[in-house]
């Protein structure tokens, strides 16, 4: 191959899409087992490589030259074959610096806690130092020579201003996990998670829920890739292009989730929105009926609401790990916090709000089969719909509402 990415597990990498969107070269993903790394690197049968977990440190002894910044950091994520001479660089540094600067949080004189002890943690330390951070502490599950344990972090560094996660904890498909409990830190000003899949990790969702600025690493990934492309070809890329690519990748990899009362128009609007945006439409209630082979009223009657809610959570867990979907959820899906979290990991939630006077009771909706039940449900659930949504859209008509939902998605 000419250009590509090497690492141990690359199944969910976005690097191919990012690099090939520049139109300069083809780009391949090449998973390597640990015992394959050295022979591949020294073969020199490539023009340029990106390097990811767990090889950013291991490739260094195999190179002919290492850029001073990469040598200082102690990690290489980009290799350029210069007429048979292998030169290593660290473009993660530029990507992470751009990501943190884009957050616009105060770093001068701050105290930072870095989670993880691998190559990316070294990059994070160098970036934070360059941004004037006063004190930097590393933490890992087991601690180590230059790191403390998480328990020590809780005990001695609860005053951290910034937390940067460089571990893979919370990465797809294990999206319910997080490396640390933010509730133990009393004065956080910002949280950075270098994971980019899902688009919002459990750690980032926890931070946002507390009103703390927080980001995942997609913009970092794009910025480091464009810096690598410049090293590969000698041609710089405008920062404007980075914004375009980030927006394009994000919309292609995320799901659009519609919530709201039974009869609010989620399915009708969802079908139209999916067609307009090039997404695949799916309906959680329809999937449950398909799997059970009976109607929802029959499920309620024969096995109870609790059984139905468990089925609903199973379906949502599966859909939340996919991408490019427009998901219409059942009216009670937001009642479980775990459902909202899972849908939020890789999706943006839009509450379709329809006046309860316009919600028509039907026999196929066990909890909304008469006017009084609908009014009671609306009043009970309204605040939950609002709090769990990224955007609230009033249903004032199918076409107008479709337009509003599409506009939100296209201008995220």
Shared domain for 137 and 278, answered yes or no, is: no
Shared domain for 156 and 275, answered yes or no, is: no
Shared domain for 181 and 299, answered yes or no, is: no
| pLDDT of res. 361 | 66
| pLDDT of res. 363 | 67
- Map tokens 């107008």 to a residue: 400
Shared domain for 137 and 280, answered yes or no, is: no
Shared domain for 389 and 356, answered yes or no, is: yes
Shared domain for 258 and 406, answered yes or no, is: yes
Can you give the three-state secondary structure of 237-291, one letter per residue?
Answer: CCHHHHHHHHHHHHHHHCEEEEECCCCCCHHHHHHHHHHHHCCEEEEHHHHHHHH
Domain that holds residue 344: 254-410
Q: Residue 104: left (phi > 0), alpha (psi -120 to 50), or beta? A: left
Please say which residue of 191, 216, 241 terminates a domain.
216
Within a domain: residue 35?
yes
Residues (pLDDT < 70) of the chain are: 361, 363-369
| pLDDT of res. 156 | 97
Within a domain: residue 363?
yes
Question: What is the enclosing helix (H) or strand (E) of 78?
Answer: strand 78-82
| pLDDT of res. 230 | 96
Q: Into how many domains does the chain fold?
A: 3
Residues assigned a catalytic role: 56
Read off the tokens for 34: 């640990």
Shared domain for 44 and 142, answered yes or no, is: no
């Amino acid at each position: 191959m000419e250009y590509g990415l090497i690492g141990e597990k690359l199944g969910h990498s976005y690097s191919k899409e990012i690099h090939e969107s520049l139109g300069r070269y083809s780009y391949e993903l090449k998973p390597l087992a640990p015992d394959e790394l050295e022979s591949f690197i020294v073969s020199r049968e490539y023009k340029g490589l990106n390097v990811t977990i767990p090889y950013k440190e291991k490739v260094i002894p195999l190179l002919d030259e290492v850029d001073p910044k990469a040598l200082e950091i102690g990690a290489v994520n980009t290799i350029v074959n210069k007429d048979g001479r292998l030169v290593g660089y660290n473009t993660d540094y530029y990507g992470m610096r751009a990501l943190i600067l884009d957050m616009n949080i105060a770093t001068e004189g701050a105290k930072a806690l870095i989670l993880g002890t691998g190559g990316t943690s070294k990059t994070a330390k160098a970036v934070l130092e360059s941004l004037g951070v006063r004190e930097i502490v590393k933490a890992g599950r087991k601690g180590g020579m230059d790191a403390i344990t998480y328990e020590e972090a809780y005990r001695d560094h609860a005053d951290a201003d910034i937390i940067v996660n460089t571990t893979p904890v919370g990465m797809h498909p294990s999206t319910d996990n997080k490396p640390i409990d933010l509730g133990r830190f009393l004065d956080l000003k910002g949280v950075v998670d270098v994971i980019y899949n899902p688009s919002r990790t459990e750690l980032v969702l926890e931070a946002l829920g507390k009103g703390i600025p927080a980001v995942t690493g997609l913009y970092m990934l794009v910025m480091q890739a464009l810096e690598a492309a410049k090293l590969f070809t000698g041609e710089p890329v405008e920062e404007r292009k980075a914004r375009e690519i980030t927006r394009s990748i994000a919309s292609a990899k995320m799901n659009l989730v519609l919530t709201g009362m039974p009869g609010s128009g989620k399915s009708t609007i969802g079908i139209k929105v999916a067609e307009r945006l090039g997404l695949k439409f799916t309906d959680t209630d329809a999937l449950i009926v398909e799997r059970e082979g009976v109607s929802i009223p029959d499920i309620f009657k024969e096995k109870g609401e609790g059984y139905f809610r468990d089925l609903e959570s199973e379906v949502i867990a599966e859909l939340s790990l996919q991408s490019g979907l427009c998901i219409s959820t059942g009216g009670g899906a937001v009642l479980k916090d775990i459902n909202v979290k899972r849908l939020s990991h890789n999706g943006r939630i839009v509450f379709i709000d329809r006046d309860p006077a316009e919600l028509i009771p039907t026999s196929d909706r066990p909890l909304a089969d008469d006017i009084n039940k609908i009014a009671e449900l609306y009043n009970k659930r309204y605040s939950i719909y609002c709090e769990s949504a990224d955007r609230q859209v009033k249903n004032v008509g199918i076409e107008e509402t479709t337009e509003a939902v599409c506009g939100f998605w296209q201008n995220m």
